[in-house]
Structure 1
Amino acid sequence: MSSSLPRPLPVALVGIGKIARDQHVPALAGSDAFALAACVSRSGGIEGIETHATLEALLDARPDIPAVSLCMPPVPRFAAARAAIAAGKHVMLEKPPGATIAEVLRLRQMADGAGVTLFASWHSRMAGGVAPAKAWLADKRVRRIRIDWKEDVRKWHPGQEWIWEAGGLGVFDPGINALSILTEICPGLLHLTAATLTFPENRDTPIAADLTFTGGDDVEATAGFDWRQEGDDIWQIEVETDAGPLRLTEGGSRLFIDGAEQEAGTLGEYPALYARFDELIAGRHSDTDAAPLIHVADAFMLGRRVAGAAFHD
């Protein structure tokens, strides 16, 4: 890290919702690289941490804080990131990095022009089994991929109306986690060819999606995302190769090759994200891979819309 920056680096957390409390706050508490110095929230802050009602108020009051982590929903995130970059802050974006691909590309241009780091984070890529899966697949021929990503929306997104509004992504909010793993372990291999999206009659975003991809004549790939799951969550990716099958389960935290469980990383997704943010700032680089979001955009472009029953939280 640059000698002009303090260590640990003060960071502000913007948007104190479920993901911030469950993941970001504990990760920062255990970090040697960062110290949580302030937060922005209109609905309650974090005990013992300086709280501001708006990002503008934070930027005015704390010019000494060099980095911000944005955890608000995707639609308002562009304006917040733009303001932070204009103020010379390094910025970490919770997934998805924006409501549109154009936003992400524009933010990258702004960050490059301002000489600050922009990190579009994909937490599921940091799951313990993902890196060893990518390494094992590097010299294998992929023949088939099957993704099943199914959970109960009432369990994981209780009362979060923004996910049902335009720009909120609906079932792609968790589904993009699977796509982030897919584009990490098989980079550049696939593109979407068809999609069926099921929309509750009273909502603007889908509750379920079935996707079909191709990577050539001999590669088949499908994905099923569903928020109507009852019972245990299913977060699984299966890959058939010329050297046998690979399976990632529990969101990528467990890896099996030919049925045998492999050693996986243990750092944790969000601690690993902040370690990566630290590396990027130190090297004065940005990381804004939009590949998972491109698949989602393609699904909305190609997708056949199916009407489903009304959803009530």
Structure 2
Amino acid sequence: MTELRIAIVGFGKIARDQHLSAIAATPGATLAAVASRNASLPGLPHFATIEELLEKGPPIDAVSLCTPPQVRRAQAAAALAAGKHVMLEKPPGTGVAELDPLIAMAADAKRTLFATWHSRYAPAVEPARQWLAERRITSVHISWKEDVRVWHPGQGWIWEPGGLGVFDPGINALSILTKILPQAVFVTAAELAFPANCQAPIAAKLTLTDIGGLPISAEFDFRQTGPQSWDVLVETDQGRLTLSGGGRRMAIDGKTVAEAPDEEYRELYRRFVDLAATCASDVDLAPLRLVADAFLLGKRTIVEPFVD
């Protein structure tokens, strides 16, 4: 098998915490370079920008874009124009429409565009989807509450336009929701709480449904200082399914039936290697559409300023 030579673009917390080890553990993938203004990795070629990487860097086949979403569209376009496969960290962009030209570019260039949703690869998500497929779902509730100072320290971009605020982790829950339910869902109402000094929400409540009228509610909050929650509760005609730990554990009526270590990012890179082998793309925008509709429909309130 020919190794997929990958360059990481944007070498921040998520790249260090997840992408490095995932690439190292993925057969058929190798890390060939890093492009980042503020960080490098000993022993690897380093470049300040993706443009410098593409012009002066070593031979690569693909880029993994771990930069803030506000700049990913231009970086993806540059990489595709240079004939590289592209992996997009979540969310894939700051808007839905900006992805369409990239999808077309990838198709024309016969290159892979992979919009990743790492939480869909949590070990209990697929078992949950299979279990729900054989039952009648009566309601769904999402509780996704974490301390932003613990999980996103110093990441000022998250509070800027396009940074998504609490939807940066909240979109993970929506990616799970749209994976495990048998029908497409849509937002009917939203309440968004914006800190007085920020351009993105610190908390949100969503009301959703599907074409059959399924009641779905979601609560996202960045201000959680006690126990953290990344939970999806699904009531059915044959019991309650609970996905907890961001999709790592599945329980039926309180009894754990599926649990495994976190290998989400390894699964992402395995998928990327497979896609690149056939120059196929995988770009599901359903979670991003739900967030966009929440902003469109949301009632906004102003809360106390946020100080990191």
Is the TM-score greater than 0.5?
yes
Which residue, out of 61, 64, 67, partners 1:72? Answer: 67
Question: Percent of aligned pairs with the same residue?
Answer: 54
Secondary structure of 1:224's partner? strand
**Shift in Å, 1:217:** 5.3
1:117 to 95, 112, 120: 112
Which structure 2 residues correspond to residues 280-291 of structure 1 after superposition, within 5 A?
280-291=275-286
| Residues 195 and 212, structure 1, Cα contact 8 Å, conserved in 2 | yes
Which amino acid letter does the alignment assign opposite residue 212 of structure 1?
Answer: T
One-letter amino acid matched to 2:255 = A
How far, CA to CA, are the matches of 1:292 and 1:160 in structure 2? 22
3-state SS of 2:98 partner:
helix
Partner deviation per Cα, 1:173-203 (whole Å, 9 max, x = no partner): 0000000000011153321100000000111
> Which whole-Å CA distance do the structure 2 matches of 1:62 and 1:112 have between them?
25
Give, in whole Å, the separation in 2 of the partners of 1:307 and 1:102. Answer: 28
State the distance in 1 between where 2:115 and 2:143 align: 24
Relative to structure 1, is the Cα distance of residues 188 and 47 closer, same or farther in structure 2, using a 3 angstrom cutoff?
Answer: farther
Secondary structure (helix, strand or coil) at the match of 1:192 reads: strand
- Do structure 1's residue 307 and structure 2's residue 302 form an aligned pair? yes
- Secondary structure of 1:145's match? strand
Partners of 1:181 and 1:187 lie apart in 2 by: 12
Structure-2 separation of matches of 1:212 and 1:255: 23
**CA offset digits 1:101-153 (Å, max 9, x no partner):** 01112211111111100000001111111011111111221110000000000
> Would the aligned equivalents of 1:143 and 1:218 in 2 still touch at CA under 8 Å?
no
Q: Which piece of structure 1 moves more, 20-29 or 44-53?
A: 44-53
2:134 maps to 1:139: yes
Hey, what does 1:59 align to over in structure 2?
Answer: 54
Which residue in the other structure is 1:3 paired with? none
1:91 counterpart SS class? strand
- For structure 2, which runs of at least 5 residues remain unmatched after alignment? none
- Between the aligned partners of 1:267 and 1:95, the Cα distance in structure 2 is 17
Normalising to structure 1: TM-score of the pair? 0.96
Specify the alignment match of 2:210 in structure 1. Answer: 215
- 2:204 is paired with a residue of what secondary structure? strand
1:236, 1:251 within 8 Å by CA — same for their partners in 2?
yes
Flag the 1:97–1:218 CA change in 2: closer, same or farther, 3 A: closer
Separation of aligned partners in 2, 1:290 and 1:75: 16
User: Which consecutive residues of structure 1, in runs of 5 or more, have no partner in the other structure?
Assistant: 1-5
Residues 5-60 of structure 1: per-residue CA shift (max 9 Å, x gap)? x6322100000000000000111122222110001011021122111111111111
The question of 1:96 aligning with 2:100 is answered no
Shift of 1:72: 0.1
1:195 matched to 2:218? The reply is: no
CA shift digits 1:77-112 (9 cap, x unpaired): 000000000000000000000110011122111111
Write the distance in 2 (CA, Å) between the matches of 1:218 and 1:39: 47
User: Which of 171, 174, 180 is equivalent to 2:175?
Assistant: 180
Q: Secondary structure at the match of 1:38?
A: strand
Q: Secondary structure at the match of 1:85?
A: helix
Instruction: State yes or no: 1:49 paired with 2:61.
Output: no
Q: Give the number of aligned pairs.
A: 308
Aligned counterpart in structure 1 of residue 143 of structure 2, from 137, 148, 153:
148
Q: How does 1:260-299 map to 2 (within 5 A)?
A: 260-266=255-261, 268-299=263-294
Give the partner amino acid of 1:100.
Answer: G
SS of the aligned residue for 1:256 comes to strand
Does 2:157 match 1:162?
A: yes
- Which of 224, 248, 271 is the matching residue for 1:253? 248
Tell me the TM-score normalized by structure 2: 0.97
Aligned to 2:226: 231
Q: Return the alpha-carbon distance in structure 2 between the equivalents of residues 206 and 157 of structure 1.
A: 14
- Alignment check: 8 A CA contact 2:231 2:246 kept: yes
Distance in 1 (CA, whole Å) between partners of 2:212 and 2:270 is: 39
Greater alpha carbon shift after TM alignment, 213-222 vs 236-245? 213-222
Query: 1:132·1:264 contact (CA, 8 Å) conserved in 2?
Result: no
Q: Quick check: 1:11–1:34 contact (8 Å CA) kept in 2?
A: yes
Query: Structure 1: how far apart are the matches of 2:242 and 2:262?
Result: 20
RMSD: 1.3
Of 48-57 and 246-255, deviating more is 48-57
1:10 paired residue number: 5
